[in-house]
Structure formats: structure tokens, C-alpha cells
Amino acid sequence: MATLIKERRIVADSWHLLERGPKGELPEVPVRGEVIVPLALWLARREELLSRVGTGTLGVWLDASEGPEALAGDVQRFPLIAVNFPKFGDGRGYSIARLLRERYGFKGELRAIGDVLHDHLFFMEQCGFDAFALREDQDAQEALSVFGTFSEGYQTSVLRPVPLFRRRLGASKS
Amino acid sequence: MYLYDEIDQKLVDERVVQFRDQTRRFLAGKLSDDEFRALRLRNGLYIQRYAPMLRIAIPYGLLSTKQLRRLAYIARKYDRGYGHFSTRQNLQLNWPKLPQAPDILAELATVQMHAIQTSGNSFRNITTDHFAGVAQDEIVDSFVWCEIIRQWSTFHPEFSYLPRKFKFAVNGAKSDRAAVAVHDIGLHALRDEKGEVGFRVLVGGGLGRTPAIGFVIREFLSWRHLLTYIEAILRVYNRYGRRDNINKARIQILVKERGPEKFREEVDAEWAHLKDGPATLVPEEIVRIESRFTRPSYLRLPATDAGLEAALASERAFANWHKRNVHPHKKAGYSAVTLSLKKTGVPPGDVTVEQMEKIADLADRYSFGELRVSHEQNLIFADVQLSDLYSLWQEVRELGFATPNVGLLTNIICCPGGDFCSLANAKSIPVAEAIQQRFDDLDYLHDIGEIDLNISGCMNACGHHHVGHIGILGVDKSGEEWYQIEVGGNQGEVRPGRGASLGKIIGPSFARAEVPDVIEKLIECYLARRDSDAERFIDVVHRIGVEPFKESVYGNADQRAAHRRGQLASA
């Protein structure tokens, strides 16, 4: 079981991630518990799952090749959206996270899943992830130190929506 | 020189701490080779043929003498006493030891330097015109814009794991001396009718395995929108660029697969969300960045110098050097000087630590304590008084950097090749040397005139062979080193009317020993067909086509057919 870091703390994970079967078949959705379903399952069974979302026990996960566009108006319904990193070097999830936060206004838990490693958490958090299901071999305790790697950043990001050059100007004016 | 503020410095210091921890965890077995590779490459550290190679960033090629002395110190203490200036205006050390790499980065940080993102699938060093800020045909000082992009591209949280490496070039003058058309994004500064600064934006150019000329995605982008617009391009690329095949992962492939028009539409759709947002640049920020650059305190000088004129008239060797290695300057009484790192017998771009220190002393005395690295792998003193040229020439000649060959055949761009690089298919340095030896007659070189000859040891094209007027590519044929010859490449609109073009392969490849003969035949072909000595090699190739050059090397079509028949008959 992967360790979960949420809001910079190691926490117990009550969510159950549902994956496709070996032949790509969509999984069954258990009646009880908090579940994260693949995007395709959500799209196929949206009508019947709407009430489940309303109870706060259904989240959805996007693969790196998928995008928030597919969820569109539903984004804000979810208590949790997860984004998969198939390989640590695959940077698509960073853009997906920013779009979810900045363009679609997602306020719930945004969770990185898959090849989620120590050295990537800093940028992931900057892009809007607040939960990290670490790959099993990762030392979660050690990983907690990583969020302070850089004390500043030049660009706009979810955590720093105003770029450094505007904040510098503000500081020099006041 | 751009001077860091506290935040710039802190980020570089924090990078050292981060990499020290990553190295520690790797050496303790907590990081796999694969995982550590992605991290060390972001700090310029390759595992090379014999040892790691460390690529140190020299942002847009600008160096202070304090920094150069620190580089010399590092190369002496941690390496074998020399460094290699690369075509990306960086410095490479070929023999550092991995456990010491964090210490080297810490040394660099003390002089506002680093190796951030000099490799890996990330934004690479931003390159520009080596005459930025002093060129007579200047539109803007491109250093300022390079620094703005440097900051934007440093540790960009969203774009730190791109599909592939990503290279920006910025040109701020009328002539394109930054090769903007062969970069992932090329920016060519312009002014509109109101005098407002903007950029022509090219995207999808590149060298490497599948060379391409960038397409103009926007004719004029106001400077205010620079960051939001490139952010839009990068977001489209980050999401949709191919990640299934490393050879198809550059942005040029995405542009090709989508089609330029469709790609532009996608970028515009993304930009619609970002345009006029918080990342929109403001005049105060441009002023702030400009004011952090130190500027030479120029004297008011006459436009000519009698002593210089006299020396030019009396000393032919000095006049030759002046003709090739001294360049016009926007300030009266000053000129820019190229120190040629292309002396025959020395690998192009290589400099020893003793030379670095002497160059630093000279730059302090003659050029306000600064110098530049050009993408042609030479060093530039940008601000030399006319009255100092003669004594500078004498001192530079002493050091062996006064070869009067800038722009000429022996000013060869050359990658480290098979002597050092583990990617190379063939050696490149001995080829450069053999050509330099063949063309060692200075009068002949000057008669041949301006020509770019570029050599790469493999199709990754670090030696920019595709945009050499003559390009040489090392290839591997069942374990043997062979060389393919191209003609007709051009790095960009250095001269009006002759834009960037890619070379065409003239025919079957050659053994190393044959290469100087082939080059000689190409040159003879050119000399026989030029209209006047004002018509350069590249101009002739474009006027008459590649065929006459092919014939000069392989014979005419009938002879080539007969040769093939002969080969078949004997087989």
C-alpha cells in the first residue's frame, strides 16, 4: 500500500483506487466506501454515479493522456481528482493539475498517483497537487522535507499565482 | 553583466543543497540509475566515455572575468586543467568526479553561476548574438530579453519534464547572428511603426536527427505578451508532444504532425486564457532587469585613431587580423574583438586554465572585465578602444588566439566527437585539424572568403553541421568511421536576403583521410564559378545548385553511373 502525503502530512488513505482490468475492461464499483474511478468509467456511467458523487464518496482519476476537458462542468462535483504519472519523467500531469485548479476552479483534493517520487513533489505541489500517493519504495518521512526545496519561484503557479516580478514591484512600492 | 539579487542567489544556493542531497541518496543506493539520471542531467552532469562530463551554463554567453577565473580554478582543482566552450555558449569539463559535483556547483554559486538545466528534457541555456548590446545594427539589447526568459524558464514547475530538450534563441539585431530559425523557439526582435518592441516568433526549428527550419507562428508579438505566449506554446507542447519515441519528441514533430496552422490555432486557443493575465510583462520589470546589468562606462572618443591607421598600413599581419577578427561597434572609438579558439592543432573551443586566467587579465585591461562566448566557439571582447587594438593584438597573438580566421574556412565549429563523447559515431576533432592543416595558407583562406564549415560526430548535430555552408557528419558503417558531406546549409540571415537553410548531402560518405581532398574539390568548384570575390560559397551554391559541387567530387552523372556499374561488375 502506497503511503499518502496530504497537505504535507503523512495520513491514512481511506480511498480505494479502481483500475481497469488486464484486458482494459472497466472495473466494478463497490457499493460502499470511497472509490476513485477511471475517467472512462465515469463517462460511461455518469448518470447513475451522479448521486454517489453527491455523497462525497466518488472521485475520478485521469491518465496523463487525458484532460480535464473531458470532465468539463462536472469538475467541481468531485471531492477528489487524481492524476496518474505513468513514469516520473512524464510531465503532462503538471499541466493537467494547473488546468484543474486555475481554469476549472477545482477546490477538492488533487492527488498525484503512479510513479510519484520524492524529487518531484515540490513541482507537483506548485502545480496544485495537495495529495501524493508515493510509489511504494519511497521514504515518506524523508519526502516531507522536500516541500521547502526552493523558497521562491519566478513563474506563476497555483501556489504563487502572482509572478515574482509583480510581487517585487509591489514590495518596492509599499 | 547581469547581477543577481538576493532571490536569484538564494535559488541557485538552494539548487546546490538539493543536488547535494540527491547525490547523497544516489550514492547511498536510495535512487536508481534511471531516476538519478533525470536529476543529474538537470544539473549538467552526463556520464561520458571516460568520466562524467559537467556542462556549466554561461547564460547567453556572457561572462565576467571573476567568473572566468573561478572556472579556471574549478577546472584546475576538480578537472584536468582545461575546459571546452560549446556551441550552446556553455563550458564543458570532461573529467569531474561525481561525488565532487555538488562541491563544484557550490563553487559556481559563489560567482552567480550554475549548471541548471544544461541537459535533460528541459529548457536549455538561452543563446543569443555574441554582439548583443554593442552591434551597430541593434534593435534591442537581447541580453535583457534572454535574462527575462532565463528567469521564466528556471525551475518552471509545469515545464520541468518536457517531452524533450527545448532551446530558445533570441536575436536583437537586424542581422540574425543567433540562428533563430533552427531553435525550438526563436525570437527575432522588431519594432513596429510606433517604435514599440516586439518579436517575430518562430517555432519548431532545430538541428539534430531531423533538422528543420522553424515556422513563423507570429509575425509580431508585443513584448508585454512574451511570457504568456511562450507559456501557451509550451503548454500545448507539454501536453501533446510525443513521449513514445525520443526521436520524435521535439516540438518540431508536433508542429509537423498537427500542421503549422492547426498548431497555431491550438496555441491561440490556449493563449486566450493566459493573455493579459498576471504573467503579462510590465515596463517596470524591463527597467529593473536592464538596471541590474552593469554597463561599460564608455569614454567619448573620436571615430578613428591615427595610431591604429598607421599600424594597419604598416603591418600586414595586424591588418589581416583586423580585417577578420575586429568588428564594428555602436560606440564611436570602440570595436569588438574575437579571440579565435580555432588554431590548427587545438580542438576547437578548448582552453587551458592558464589561458583562461590570462584571458581574464586581458579582458580586465582591455574590455571592462567582461567577455562573451560565441556559438561559433570563440571568445569576444566586446568593448575595446581603437587605440588599444594593436597592443591587444600583440598580447593575444602571444597566447595563440589571434588566428585571423573568423568567418573563414578554418573557423570550424566542431563538437567534441568520438574522442570524448559517448554518443558520437565518429571523431570530429582530427577531421577539423586535417582540414585546418590543408588550408593553412592565409592568402588562400582570405581569397576563399566567408564560409562556415561545421562538423558533428553524430546526427545529434552538436557541431551544427546542417547549417554549415559545408557540413560534415560522422557516421558509423559497420563499426567504421565515415563522413557524409553536405553543402548549402546556412545558420540564418547573417547577411540580408540569405535566410536559414539546411544542407543537402552530396553523395556517399568518405573515409576520414579523404575528407580534406573532398573539401578542396568543393572549394575549387566554388572558386571556378563565383562571379566575383563578393559572391560567397553559400551564394554560389544557392545560385547554381548542388549538382556542380556533386560533380566536382564524384564526377558527372555518366561517370557516376559507370563507376556504379564497375562496382557491380567487380562484386
DSSP B217-276: EEEEEEGGGHHHHHHHHHHHHHHHS--S-GGG-SHHHHHHHH-HHHHHHHHHHHHHHHTT
Give me the mean pLDDT over the B343-368 stretch: 93
Any domain includes B404: no
Confidence of residue B49 (pLDDT cuts 50, 70, 90): low
Same domain? B133 vs B93: no
Q: Are B484 and B495 in contact (CB under 8 A)?
A: no
Minimal CA–CA distance to B230: which of B287, B172, B149, B164? B149
Minimal CA–CA distance to B469: which of B525, B559, B511, B409? B409
For residue B354, the model assigns a pLDDT of: 97
Same domain? B133 vs B70: no
Give me the mean pLDDT over the B505-513 stretch: 95
Confidence of residue B356 (pLDDT cuts 50, 70, 90): very high
**Mean of the per-residue pLDDT values for chain B?**
94
Q: Work out the percent of chain B whose per-residue pLDDT is above 70.
A: 99
Q: Work out the percent of chain B whose per-residue pLDDT is above 90.
A: 86
Residue A24's identity, in one-letter code, is G
For residue B422, the model assigns a pLDDT of: 81
Confidence of residue B177 (pLDDT cuts 50, 70, 90): very high
Confidence of residue A135 (pLDDT cuts 50, 70, 90): very high
For residue B571, the model assigns a pLDDT of: 64
Confidence of residue B344 (pLDDT cuts 50, 70, 90): confident
Confidence of residue B559 (pLDDT cuts 50, 70, 90): confident
Any domain includes B464: yes
CA B436/CA B414 separation, integer angstroms: 12
Minimal CA–CA distance to B167: which of B460, B496, B456? B460
Same domain? B489 vs B354: no
Q: Is B442 helix (H, G, I), strand (E, B) or coil?
A: helix
Strand partners, B53: B46
Confidence of residue B13 (pLDDT cuts 50, 70, 90): very high
For residue B494, the model assigns a pLDDT of: 84
Confidence of residue B452 (pLDDT cuts 50, 70, 90): very high
Q: How many CB atoms lie within 10 A of CB B436?
A: 24
CA A113/CA A124 separation, integer angstroms: 11
Query: From the centroid of its chain, how far is CA B172?
Result: 16
Q: Work out the percent of chain A whose per-residue pLDDT is above 90.
A: 93
Residue whose grid cell is 513533489: A121
Chain A contact set for B7 (CB, 8 A): 152, 164, 168
B457: pLDDT strictly greater than 60: yes
Distances (CA, A) of B42 to A144, B46, B117, B442: 22, 10, 4, 43
Same domain? B94 vs B19: yes
User: pLDDT tens-digit profile of B361-380?
Assistant: 999 999 999 999 998 889 99
Query: Contact B243/A92, CB-based, under 8 Å?
Result: yes
Any domain includes B314: yes
User: pLDDT tens-digit profile of B418-431?
Assistant: 888 888 899 999 99
Any domain includes B203: yes
Structural domains for chain A? 4-146 (3.20.20.70)
How many domains are contained in chain B? 4
Same domain? B331 vs B235: no
Confidence of residue A4 (pLDDT cuts 50, 70, 90): very high
| Beta-carbon pairs below 8 A across chains A and B | 101
Give me the mean pLDDT over the B519-543 stretch: 95
Same domain? B552 vs B514: yes
Give me the mean pLDDT over the B516-545 stretch: 96
CA B453/CA B54 separation, integer angstroms: 26
Same domain? B493 vs B461: yes
Chain A contact set for B284 (CB, 8 A): 169
Give the HSE-up count for residue A99: Cα atoms under 13 Å, Cβ half-sphere: 25
Backbone angles phi, psi at B561, to 5 degrees: -65, -40
Query: Contact A88/B151, CB-based, under 8 Å?
Result: no
Query: Contact A154/B159, CB-based, under 8 Å?
Result: no
Q: Phi-psi bin for A80: left (phi > 0), alpha (psi -120 to 50), beta?
A: beta
- Residue in chain B closest to A162 (alpha carbons) equals B278
Same domain? B279 vs B336: no
Same domain? B270 vs B159: yes
B564: pLDDT strictly greater than 90: no
Chain B contact set for A122 (CB, 8 A): 157
Same domain? B255 vs B141: yes
- Alpha-carbon distance A155 to nearest alpha carbon in chain B (angstroms): 6
User: pLDDT tens-digit profile of B228-241?
Assistant: 999 999 999 999 99
Any domain includes B147: yes
- Residue in chain A closest to B243 (alpha carbons) equals A90
Same domain? B259 vs B329: no
Q: Long-range contacts of range B471-479, CB-CB < 8 Å, 24 or more positions apart?
A: B471/B503, B472/B428, B472/B431, B472/B515, B474/B417, B474/B418, B474/B424, B474/B425, B474/B426, B474/B427, B474/B428, B474/B431, B475/B425, B475/B426, B475/B509, B476/B425, B476/B426, B477/B509
- Alpha-carbon distance A132 to nearest alpha carbon in chain B (angstroms): 16
Predicted ipTM?
0.97
B562: pLDDT strictly greater than 90: no
Give me the mean pLDDT over the B50-72 stretch: 93
pLDDT: which is higher, A172 or A164: A164
B290, B316, B344 - which closes a domain: B290
Q: Per residue, what are the HEC states of B40-96? A: HHCCCEEECCCCEEEEEECHHHEEEHHHHHHHHHHHHHHCCCEEEECCCCCEEECCC
The conformation of residue B173, written as its DSSP 8-state character, comes to B
Q: Is B541 helix (H, G, I), strand (E, B) or coil?
A: helix
Domain with residue B514: its CATH number is 3.30.413.10
Domain range for B272: 127-290
Residue B98's identity, in one-letter code, is L
Any domain includes B75: yes
For residue B149, the model assigns a pLDDT of: 98
For residue B338, the model assigns a pLDDT of: 97
Domain with residue B21: its CATH number is 3.90.480.20
Strand partners, A80: A109
Give me the mean pLDDT over the B197-214 stretch: 94
Any domain includes B119: no
Q: Does A4 touch chain B (CB under 8 A)?
A: no
Interface of A with B in 33-72 (CB under 8 A): 67
In degrees, to the nearest 5, what angle opens at C-alpha B120 toward C-alphas B148 and B57?
50
User: pLDDT tens-digit profile of B94-138?
Assistant: 888 989 999 999 999 999 999 999 999 999 999 999 999 999 999
Residues written for chain B: 571
Query: Contact A91/B161, CB-based, under 8 Å?
Result: yes
CA torsion sign for B158, B164, B170, B174 is negative
Q: Is B189 helix (H, G, I), strand (E, B) or coil?
A: strand
Top residue of B8, B158, B244, B285 to mutate, by most chain A CBs within 10 Å, is: B158
**Strands (DSSP E) found in B415-544:** 453-456, 470-477, 480-487, 504-505, 510-511
Q: Are B93 and B350 in contact (CB under 8 A)?
A: no
CA A59/CA A55 separation, integer angstroms: 11
Helices assigned H by DSSP within B79-225: 101-109, 142-153
Same domain? B357 vs B464: no
CA B416/CA A13 separation, integer angstroms: 52
Any domain includes B122: no
Confidence of residue B491 (pLDDT cuts 50, 70, 90): very high
B49, B76, B109 - which closes a domain: B109
Strand partners, B203: B185, B215
For residue B500 the three cell numbers come to 536559414
Minimal CA–CA distance to B325: which of B405, B400, B388? B405
